Amino acid sequence: MRDLGVVETILRNRIHFFQEIRDGVRLGEKMRAMLISSLVFMALYGAVMGSTHSLWQALSSAAKLPVLFLATLFICAPTLYFFNVLFGSTQSLTQNVALILTAITVTAVLLLSFTPIILFFLLTTSQYQFFKLLNVAIFAISGITGVVFLSQGMQIVAAGAEGDSARRNVLRLWMLLYAFVGSQLAWTIRPFIGAPSIDFELFRQLGGNFYTNILASLGEIFGFFIVQ
């Protein structure tokens, strides 16, 4: 329940939450609560997403979705930290990770909130490409909202420090990097949904890329042909 209390604080009183991160108030406790909440929420969403295919796919997606976000965090956090330091930030690496975990937590909460919609379309449609694109759209909406929270947190935590304009530009570039790394990693450890015509696979062979696959899915739905 305490972990859920931290999530509620982020959603209802994020300015106070970011100020506590700036002041270093109970950072370890906050990070633990956000980590546990994010893992649970993403595992639940992943299980529902993978249940369109089979029980094994549901279990696989429940495990892989949290790994996807945490691995992306591990890969990208040092870049944000060192560029912030380069442009005058006094934040510690722990504070940077706490801010990124805030974005991931918000993303995870929104994913969980979309679960009833996913269940609805799971029960009312059998079109694989539509269901895949629906999930991509949900991830995009949730992820963008998460990085908006991150941007607000960075501004509050770094208020008054020199190089504010440069750090904002760094953050924008880092967001693009985060999205690119996340999408590429998702493609590498796919499938998360599982094509109905293919037996369960824990991982698929590398080939193609995330963006051409999405364009191909759009082409199949709207009736135009795209070579992958």
Helix axes 14-23, 93-113, angle to 10 degrees: 160
Neighbours of 224 (CB within 10 A): 9
Closest CA to 81 of 57, 59, 97: 97
Q: Which two tokens stand for residue 40?
A: 């649970």
Q: Contact at 8 Å (CB) between 61 and 49?
A: yes
The owner of tokens 């995009």 is 140
pLDDT of residue 46: 95
Of the two residues 86 and 104, the one the predictor is more confident about is 104
Q: Contact at 8 Å (CB) between 178 and 70?
A: no
DSSP code string of the chain: -HHHHHHHHHHH-HHHHHHHHHHTTTHHHHHHHHHHHHHHHHHHHHHHHHTTT-HHHHHHHHHHHHHHHHHHHHHHHHHHHHHHHHTT----HHHHHHHHHHHHHHHHHHHHHTHHHHHHHHHH---HHHHHHHHHHHHHHHHHHHHHHHHHHHHHHTTT-S-HHHHHHHHHHHHHHHHHHHHHHHHHT--SS--TTS---SS----S-HHHHHHHHHHHHHT-----
Reported confidence tier of residue 108, pLDDT bands at 50, 70, 90: very high
Average model confidence (pLDDT) for the chain? 87
Q: Is 227 a residue whose pLDDT tops 60?
A: no
Give the pTM: 0.89
All residues at 6 or more sequence positions from 72 whose CB lies less than 8 Å from its CB, including other chains:
178, 181, 182, 185
Per residue in 168-190, pLDDT (tens digit) is 888 888 889 999 999 989 989 98
pLDDT of residue 65: 95
Q: Which amino acid would we find at residue 51?
A: S
Domain boundaries, the chain: 2-222
- For the ranges 2-6, 38-42, 145-149, 189-193, which has the lowest average pLDDT? 2-6
All residues at 6 or more sequence positions from 141 whose CB lies less than 8 Å from its CB, including other chains:
110
Per residue in 130-162, pLDDT (tens digit) is 898 999 999 999 999 999 999 899 888 876 666
Of the two residues 2 and 171, the one the predictor is more confident about is 171
- For the ranges 77-81, 173-177, 204-208, 224-228, which has the lowest average pLDDT? 224-228
The owner of tokens 């060192």 is 82
